[in-house]
Amino acid sequence: MTTPPRLETLADLRIEIDRIDAALHLLLMERGEIIHRLIEAKARQGGGSAFRPGREADMMRGLVSRHQGLLPLDTVEGIWRIIISTFTFVQSNYNVHADISGGDAAMRDCCRFHFGFTVPYVAHQGAALAIEAVARSCGDLGMVRAEAPAGPWWRGLAAPDAPKIIARLPFVERPDHPAGMPVFVIAQPLAEAAARDVVLYDVTIAHGDGTLTLGPRARGLEILSHFKDGSGLSLMIATETGLDDLRETLVRAGAARPRIAEIGSHAARFDLREVQNLAAQ
């Protein structure tokens, strides 16, 4: 006569949960030890930026692409963002300077979701002030809405030694994202590890240099923002093609002598809906 299998009790399941929680904590501490060794290795090799926006984008894409089960994706992404950002902070302390001219609540939510509560949050009334704070710092980040409300703020990124855009958040776009407001992350120019799938430019067309006739999306470029004043037209343009192609497109569209300055770059946008639609086909 065989003995029927014993049904699991709540106590059994709680023991399993405690075992998993302890294992997770041990793995986080092990990750911390590796970060400690990473800091030492960087010091031996002459240092380097703690920020790796391209690597972070790849990590988040992989995470959401393989996720399944009961745990909400928002929670998983939030946990990993805190792990990544906090261990980056451990490598080299930094602040996040946020432009709250369009409202503090949404920007604060974005900052806390992507960077957690360990990284200090510093609010500024205007993109220019956030950019100036990053420029004066020794490794801080800035956050500006992709559609900032006040003027051609991106001009503050045009000088060769000025801070530059290094990322666009969120890394994974999807409906009802708890921190879905598109924001640009700004940092001192990265000597390495910059993600360059999309390159951003400040384009200025002075009065008398022609009349631009260009759709919002033309030949691989996107006009993210524009501003017109007494000196002419300023554009913030994102493109996946090269600088020569951008210049040729602008000239063909009627701009005789466009002034172009690179203001940063970021990883290609990753829309989870598109991935899921392709997988379903």
Q: What is the pLDDT of residue 233?
A: 85
Distances (CA, A) of 72 to 109, 145, 175, 204: 18, 26, 13, 45
Specify if 2 maps to a domain: no
Specify if 70 maps to a domain: yes
Q: Distance between CA atoms of 119 and 112, rounded to whole angstroms?
A: 9
DSSP 8-state symbol, 145: E
The verdict on 189 and 55 lying in the same domain is: yes
The verdict on 151 and 231 lying in the same domain is: no
Specify if 273 maps to a domain: no
Decide which of 193, 210, 239 is a domain's last residue. Answer: 193
Answer whether the bond into residue 170 is a cis peptide, omega within 30°: yes
Q: pLDDT tens, 110-119?
A: 999 999 999 9
Q: What is the pLDDT of residue 78?
A: 94
Using a pLDDT cut of 70, give the percent of the chain over it.
Answer: 89
The verdict on 150 and 189 lying in the same domain is: yes
Decide which of 170, 193, 216 is a domain's last residue. Answer: 193
Give the other-Cβ count within 10 Å of 228's Cβ.
12
Specify if 280 maps to a domain: no
Specify if 18 maps to a domain: no
Mean pLDDT of the chain: 87
The verdict on 119 and 173 lying in the same domain is: yes
The verdict on 119 and 212 lying in the same domain is: no
Q: pLDDT tens, 218-247?
A: 667 888 888 888 778 888 999 988 888 888
Specify if 37 maps to a domain: no
Give me the number of domains the chain comprises: 2
Specify if 12 maps to a domain: no
Residues 111/79, Cβ–Cβ less than 8 Å: no
Q: Which residues of the chain have pLDDT under 70?
A: 1-4, 46-48, 148-150, 193, 208-219, 275-281
- pTM for this structure? 0.89
Of 179, 161, 162, nearest to 170 by C-alpha is 179
Q: pLDDT tens, 192-212?
A: 767 889 999 999 888 766 666
The verdict on 82 and 208 lying in the same domain is: no
Q: Distance between CA atoms of 77 and 236, rounded to whole angstroms?
A: 30
- Give residue 240's domain range: 199-265
Specify if 248 maps to a domain: yes
The verdict on 73 and 129 lying in the same domain is: yes
**Token output for 135:** 């420029």
The verdict on 119 and 177 lying in the same domain is: yes
The verdict on 189 and 119 lying in the same domain is: yes
The verdict on 156 and 172 lying in the same domain is: yes
